[in-house]
A and B are shown apart, each in its own frame.
Chain A
Amino acid sequence: DAGVIQSPRHEVTEMGQEVTLRCKPISGHDYLFWYRQTMMRGLELLIYFNNNVPIDDSGMPEDRFSAKMPNASFSTLKIQPSEPRDSAVYFCASSLGTGGSPLHFGNGTRLTVT
């Protein structure tokens, strides 16, 4: 099992540019989660999907952020346009949504917006 795979590991971009973060969940998992982590705010839930359908996107900070899950094996988080305050580590996680199933996290994407 390869675990949750995120790409890229690091992204440096200039303010105003579009950024796309990618996630491949564990095969067979039906829930996918996107989190953001900063020193000031800790780990924040942005959005999560069940069977490729967004369930709760109330954590998405503003319209500049969008997330998609076109199929069970791939999800993207897009920021357009990016701003310096978006600098953070973005984590993707997946789980099998049956009784007591834990989340499995990827290693994250460290985003720096200059």
Chain B
Amino acid sequence: DAKTTQPTSMDCAEGRAANLPCNHSTISGNEYVYWYRQIHSQGPQYIIHGLKNNETNEMASLIITEDRKSSTLILPHATLRDTAVYYCIVVPQAGTALIFGKGTTLSVSS
């Protein structure tokens, strides 16, 4: 399975965009990029996923580079409630179990 590399922590000011990077240089053609987040003491929450194209939903945007070796999760207007650990995960195929790394701790401050 392709592994991911994320920064340990990031800070963001409330109202600004939060851009969380993820490297997955060994990703293969049929592997999805998933993003989850975990707010303290809650279960992980699905944010967004993509295969090749950029994706956007009500929570975030996902930008995948053309060579698919890295991606960026964008929270366009971060709020205090976006403070969480964000996990970038590469999944070989639908239905395969997710293997979580350590993720990026995002701290949003006012």
Hey, which chain B residues are within 8 Å of A42, CB to CB? 100-102
Would you call A71 an interface residue if the criterion is a C-beta within 8 Å of the partner chain's C-beta atoms? no
Would you call the interface of chain B mostly helix, strand, loop, or mixed?
loop
Of A11-19, A61-69, A80-88, A89-97, the one contacting chain B is A89-97
Hey, which chain B residues are within 8 Å of A105, CB to CB? 43-45
Would you call B80 an interface residue if the criterion is a C-beta within 8 Å of the partner chain's C-beta atoms? no
Counting contact residues on chain A (CB < 8 A from B), the size range is 20 to 34
From A4, A50, A107, give the contact of B95 (CB < 8 A). Answer: A50
Docked Cα-Cα span, A104 to B45, in Å, equals 7
Residue of B nearest to A106 (CB): B43
Tell whether, in the assembled complex, residue A99 and residue B94 are in contact, meaning their CB atoms are under 8 Å apart.
Answer: yes
Would you call A70 an interface residue if the criterion is a C-beta within 8 Å of the partner chain's C-beta atoms? no
| CB proximity of B35 to chain A, nearest CB, Å | 10
Tell whether, in the assembled complex, residue A56 and residue B97 are in contact, meaning their CB atoms are under 8 Å apart.
Answer: yes
Hey, which chain A residues are within 8 Å of B102, CB to CB? 42
A-B contact pairs, 25 of them (CB 8 A): A4-B43, A30-B95, A31-B95, A33-B97, A33-B98, A42-B100, A42-B102, A45-B97, A45-B98, A48-B97, A91-B43, A93-B44, A97-B94, A97-B95, A98-B94, A100-B51, A101-B95, A102-B34, A102-B46, A103-B36, A103-B44, A103-B98, A106-B43, A107-B42, A108-B42
